[in-house]
Amino acid sequence: MQANVEKNFFELFGLPVGFNLDTADLAARYRALQRQFHPDRYANATDPERRLSLQITAQINQGFQTLKEPLSRGRYLLALQGVNTDEETDTRMDPDFLVEQMELRESLDEARCSAQRGERLARLARETDALLRARTGALGSSLAGGDPEGLRRARELVREMQFLKKLAREIEELGEVD
């Protein structure tokens, strides 16, 4: 017994496979699917339907989670094309990026101990955000072509975005402490 949950997440949401999507539209589709399939709707249904409802809703939730953020969406698109982004064995990164990372981390350490801590953390958060946004844009165009060079570049961008996201989170957490 299998309902058609073997669809990829884009198909499940009735969307074309691609990086650019309207998140408000995605959210509306998500709610429509939830209205249809959530287990609460099947409280009095047959047991096979109840099991399927659980299975499909889990899929819908995971799909929404994956597609709504550019980073996880990009990673998923790469995975659909057989490109793995989180191989731990591969630690090579663009040297320029590594330098940039080290500088950002240094600024973070300085900001932490600085007298204008709040202000400096806020500035750093803005910088990180700008870097993330630039990469999100680049990721869209790298994925668009589907050529090997584009995919290679996209993979690199995704991995860099993972670093930046982690940094952004640390900055935010530090900002909350005071």
For another protein, the binding residues (CB under 8 A) are: 1-4, 12-14, 25, 28-29, 31-49, 52-59, 61-62, 64-65, 172-173, 176
State the minimum distance, in angstroms, from the CB of residue 100 to another protein: 24
Torsion, Cα 103 109 115 117, to 10 degrees, reads 90
Alpha carbon distances (Å) from 142 to 15, 36, 69, 105, 150: 20, 36, 17, 27, 5
Comparison of 52 and 164: residue with beta carbon closer to another protein: 52
User: Which helix (H) or strand (E) element contains residue 85?
Assistant: none
State the minimum distance, in angstroms, from the CB of residue 50 to another protein: 9
State the minimum distance, in angstroms, from the CB of residue 103 to another protein: 25
Distance between start and end Cα atoms, the chain = 54
Comparison of 22 and 103: residue with beta carbon closer to another protein: 22
Comparison of 51 and 153: residue with beta carbon closer to another protein: 51
Which residues make Cβ contacts (< 8 Å) with residue 146, sequence separation at least 6? 81
Comparison of 27 and 134: residue with beta carbon closer to another protein: 27
State the minimum distance, in angstroms, from the CB of residue 168 to another protein: 11
Q: How many CB atoms lie within 10 A of CB 24?
A: 8
State the minimum distance, in angstroms, from the CB of residue 3 to another protein: 4
Comparison of 61 and 162: residue with beta carbon closer to another protein: 61
Cα separation, 18 vs 21, whole angstroms: 7
Torsion, Cα 74 79 83 86, to 10 degrees, reads 80
